[in-house]
Amino acid sequence: MRQPATRTAVPAQSSGPAPAPGLDDFNTVPSAEAEAALLDCCGSHRWAQRLTAHRPYPDLDSLLAAADEAGYDLAPADLSEALAAEVSPGLHDTAPHSAHLALRAAHAAYESRFGHVFVMCLDGLEPAEQPDQVLAGIRARLAHEPDQERVVSADEMRRLARGRIIDLVSGS
């Protein structure tokens, strides 16, 4: 019987952060599949095409930096397209009826004023804190001028896209 060969462990060489578990898959799937996955992160076709075209990304930080850069470069029509693909943050079904009514009225007032859904990144907030934060956010942002609100909405879209990309490549 032959003895298994012994191997000497060689430390792995790294030139930066290790790729996220799903980053290799993201980098190698067909372009149409990568673009479709990115459209779930941000509804701008131009944004998704740009990120797809610049693959492969060596690590998650590089992908996030590219996403931020593409987000800052969105033309007004691209931002409108991304906002049209969004759904306003809502409440859990178990929330009181009055809370649902208040939030529905706030969303309607916001959409009437700005012509698009209210977007807000809720990453890092406990579910119980989210309804109050959304209502407070809508109320505060209703006082914005339309140009100021587009800047805030674009920033919120970038934050949402970052969190969604992290989920996408980490498999959560």
172 residues of the chain, pLDDT tens digit each: 433 333 222 223 334 444 445 899 999 999 999 999 999 999 999 999 999 999 999 999 999 999 999 999 999 999 999 999 998 877 777 778 888 898 999 999 999 999 999 999 999 888 888 888 999 999 999 999 999 999 999 999 999 999 999 999 987 5
| Token pair belonging to 113 | 């004023």
Q: What's this model's pTM, rounded to 2 decimal places?
A: 0.83
**Would you tell me how many other CB atoms lie within 10 Å of the CB of residue 9?**
5
- Return d(Cα 121, Cα 114) in angstroms, integer: 18
